[in-house]
Amino acid sequence: MSQWAFEPARDLTLTRKERRQSLRRESDLLESGCHLAWALGMRAYLKLWHGLTVEGREHLPLKPPFVLVANHASHLDALLLAAPLPLTIRDQVFAIAAEDVFFEKTSRAVLATTFLNALPISRRRATPKALSEFRQRLVDEPCAYILFPEGGRSRDGQMLPFKPGIGMMLAESPVPVVPCHIDGAFAACPAGRRLPLRRRITIRVGASLTFAEVKNNRAGWVDVAGRLQEAVIRLAPAGSMVTSSVAKAAEE
């Protein structure tokens, strides 16, 4: 007879503050309830206020592990990408959020973890070692990430080049990455705006990519970032704000 395996919470020995900052955080029942309530509320809000439509829904995975990446121009983006995912995996979907924006003030960190289920990433120290913990959790648990490889919100709505950090997380990894394009979030709630305007928002989902065969080195990381960037741009409708500087750079 094999022994029962007990698996204590990975964040068992952390204080409440450490727990919020940690990548090992696991939701308890109350937090799961909050995530669920928030997800339901967001779905209703995005549908009613922004008339959210999702094209290519069939490309969305139903089970972790997976990673969603998209262009980033608004605080709405993470909420938007989470909205079409099944509620049953809500606890396993983490929005990867900038530590300096979401995790330095306690009140904001509480909101980010309790409702958004956000995990902190440091923009200053995005090294392979720092990202390996993300990589590990993705397959161990398994879980899913919502991630914006531009490394910050675009201030003019035009897409910024994807940073190679995404490659450090995904090169040589079998986890599928789903490119998405968000259209309308910049018009609804650009950086600096508090309350979103009533603008239509569309998410276009593309077929997933994997980078198992890409080498986990600098060239590989750049390759991953470049291919994902291309995939997101390809989803953008002709004449949309995205295809400008980045597209030109890519063509050259």
Partner 1 sequence: MQPISWDRLFGYQHAFDQPATILLLGIVLGVLALAPVAILVADKRKPLEDKQRAELWQRWFSWLVLVVLMAAPVLLGAFWTMLAVTALSLICYREFARATGLFREKFTSLLVVVGILAVGFAVLDNWYKLFVALFPLTVASLAGFQVVLDRPAGYIQRVALGILGFALFGSALGHLGYLANDEHYRAVVLLVLVSVELNDVAAFVSGKLFGRRKLCPNTSPNKTIAGAIGAVLITTAFVALVGWQVFAGTALEHWPKLIVLGIIISVVGQLGDLVLSSIKRDLGLKDMGVTIPGHGGLLDRFDSLILVAPAVFHYVWYFGGFGLQQPICIFSGARS
Strand partners, 202: 53, 183
Say whether residue 1 binds partner 1 (CB under 8 A). no
Q: Which of 8, 192, 239, 251 binds partner 1 (CB under 8 A)?
A: 8
Say whether residue 58 binds partner 1 (CB under 8 A). no
Measured from the CB atom, the residue of 26 and 223 that comes closer to partner 1 is 26
Say whether residue 114 binds partner 1 (CB under 8 A). no
Q: How far is the CB of 46 from partner 1 (least distance, A)?
A: 25
Measured from the CB atom, the residue of 33 and 41 that comes closer to partner 1 is 33
Q: How far is the CB of 47 from partner 1 (least distance, A)?
A: 26
Q: Give CA separation, 101 vs 79, 120, 148, 168, 170, in Å.
A: 16, 9, 14, 22, 24
Q: Which of 29, 62, 195, 238 binds partner 1 (CB under 8 A)?
A: 29
Q: Name which of 149, 141, 188 is nearest 69 in CA terms.
A: 149
CA–CA separation, 102 vs 193, rounded Å?
A: 16
Of 82-111, binders to partner 1 (CB under 8 A) are 91
Place of tokens 């952390």: 14
Say whether residue 32 binds partner 1 (CB under 8 A). yes
> Site for partner 1 (CB under 8 A): how many residues?
14
> Using CB under 8 A as the criterion, what x/- string covers residues 187-226 for binding partner 1?
----------------------------------------
Say whether residue 12 binds partner 1 (CB under 8 A). yes
Query: Alpha carbon 88 to chain centroid distance?
Result: 18
Q: How far is the CB of 101 from partner 1 (least distance, A)?
A: 27
The residues that touch partner 1, with contacts defined as CB under 8 A, are 4, 6-9, 12-15, 26, 28-29, 32, 91
